[in-house]
A and B are shown apart, each in its own frame.
Chain A
Amino acid sequence: MSLSTKHLLGIKNLNANDIELIFQTADTFKGILQRPIKKVPSLRDTTIVNLFYENSTRTRISFELAEKRLGADTINFTASSSSVSKGETLIDTVKNILSMKVDMVVMRHQASGAPHFLSQHIPAAIINAGDGTNEHPTQALLDSYSIREKFNTLKDKKITIIGDIMHSRVALSNIYCLKKMGAKVTVSGPPTLIPKHIESLGVQVTYNVAEALEWCDVANVLRIQLERQNMPLFSTLREYSLYYGINKKMLDSLKKEILIMHPGPINRGVELSSDAADSHHSIILNQVENGVAIRMAVLYLLSGKTTS
């Protein structure tokens, strides 16, 4: 058994078997990460470049740790300190790096579709670590994996995604992933931040956050992406927080226990209050922990299909 795809460009291109295979492989890696020696040599002959055209803390550290735990050699590339600022194109940059015998590319880019474009021009396996407002597949995999870990399954679980759905690649990847695994999804947030026709992805929409919380088993709260909004879509952050922010009081008033997730970085006091983020509802740090195991699984499963 292996993945049906050579690259991980998005969850859109995966099927449920692929996702289950990644989860099962991640289970094994999670076991390895509990051992005194948290390292296996399976990718010791593989070199991986982390190509980051956009800022990142968690994803980048998580990928780099996953690569190191698999014994791979890694190189880090940041657009700001490279020849990109001298005008080099994406293809030229990557072809130059690959000519130094690099086997896999992990990339984040501000343009949606950048990894898809690159995959048509280079032989190496590409893993999308976030492209513009399109997809962030490994985040969705680790989110779903964390839910599966708590409930043993995703089937028929109710997940609400709250916040800036319009600009969020995490939301899109999560919707694809959750739907493929049989979960039910509702998106919620201000009407200006929810794309029209999003129902065509098989999700429900509510503009009332309290209603969404009442319905769900898990709430995945997204960050307001001010850097991607080039026109005012809500009046102030205070107003957003008042109508769409989640706090501990709201969670306590529910008749059931729900889980709170957040892909990070949190704007404390905006989409999520500190008392909610640090409460027992929150599995935010479990998500981060699972991120390494999920990325190890993806790297391991894709590395067998490199050029040789």
Chain B
Amino acid sequence: MKTILDKNKFNIVIERLANQLIENHYTFDQTVLIGIQPRGVFLADRIVSYIENILQIQLQYGKLDITFYRDDYHTSKNVHLPDITNIEFSIENKKVVLIDDVLFTGRTIRSAMEAIIDFGRPSKVELLTLIDRRFSRQLPIQADYIGLTIDSILSQKVKVLWAEHDKKDEVILLDTENDKN
């Protein structure tokens, strides 16, 4: 097990990502933020509260569950159970920022794009991720905002821990053969 981001750096990176969003979207009047269930929502919550605090505005922020849009339904052993989807505004012609904790194969993001288009036609879709595991993509998908890029092999696992759920803020790299999670 190896720590990739410790607690102090963790917050600096998230604040940088939030500031990059502010720089690009400025007033957020045509922008909506969508956290991908389950663990992208933790990151999205932090970013949304940071931006709302700095700009003193209310963002349009929703949560998206992609369970029914997965492409590995028949190959996985267990049935995936859905989380809540909560998008209470129109995304028609809006700039949508998808937020997830780790960008790995790109399949979750593909599902998320398919799911979000069922809610309307956004003018633009962007992707924000805390960790980009480069060289492991199985689809042509890139992030627009990246917290940290790491090199890892397929058998390794990257886990983002959140204080509100896992009692501490940290990103760790697990060698799945040696580390029992």
Contact = CB atoms under 8 A, between A and B. Distances in A.
A37 B70 contact: no
- A contacts with B: majority SS: loop
B67 to A, nearest CB: 8
Given A32-B68, A41-B114, A306 B119 contact: no
B85 A31 contact: yes
A40 B68 contact: yes
Contacts of B70: 42
B81 interface: yes
B26 interface: no
A100 interface: no
A40 to B, nearest CB: 4
Interface string B68-95: 1110011010110110110000000000
Nearest to B86: A31
A304 B73 contact: yes
A212 B85 CA distance: 41
A28 B82 contact: yes
Nearest to A21: B81
| Overall SS of chain B's interface | loop
Contacts of A25: 81-82
B79 A41 contact: no
Given A1-B78, A45-B74, A304-B74, A39 B69 contact: no
Contacts of A1: 78-79, 81
A296 B119 CA distance: 20
Interface footprint category on B: 10 to 19
B119 A37 contact: yes
Given A36-B120, A37-B118, A2 B68 contact: no
A150 interface: no
B101 interface: no
Given A2-B79, A301-B79, A304-B73, A35 B65 contact: no
Interface in A26-55: 28, 31-32, 35-37, 39-43, 45
Contacts of A303: 73
B73 A42 contact: yes
Contacts of A39: 118
A11 B76 CA distance: 26
A235 interface: no
A301 B67 CA distance: 12
Interface string A50-72: 00000000000000000000100
Nearest to A40: B68
Contacts of B76: 304
Contact of B119 (A2, A35, A41, A43): A35
Given A31-B85, A306-B74, A308-B74, A42 B119 contact: no
Nearest to A28: B82
A45 B75 CA distance: 12
Interface string A1-17: 11100000000000000
- Residue among B82, B85, B115, B120 with most chain A CB within 10 A: B82
Nearest to A306: B74
Interface string B52-68: 00000000000001011
A206 B15 CA distance: 68
A91 B143 CA distance: 53
A12 to B, nearest CB: 22
A273 B78 CA distance: 47
Contacts of A306: 74
Contacts of B65: 28
Contacts of B74: 45, 304, 306, 308
Contact of A2 (B73, B78, B85, B114): B78
Interface string A134-174: 00000000000000000000000000000000000000000
A298 to B, nearest CB: 12
Given A21-B81, A24-B81, A28-B67, 9 more contacts: A1-B78, A32-B68, A36-B119, A40-B69, A40-B115, A40-B118, A42-B69, A42-B70, A304-B74
8 contacts: A25-B81, A28-B65, A28-B84, A31-B85, A41-B114, A42-B67, A45-B73, A308-B74
Interface of B: 65, 67-70, 73-74, 76, 78-79, 81-82, 84-85, 114-115, 118-120
Interface of A: 1-3, 21, 24-25, 28, 31-32, 35-37, 39-43, 45, 70, 300-301, 303-304, 306, 308
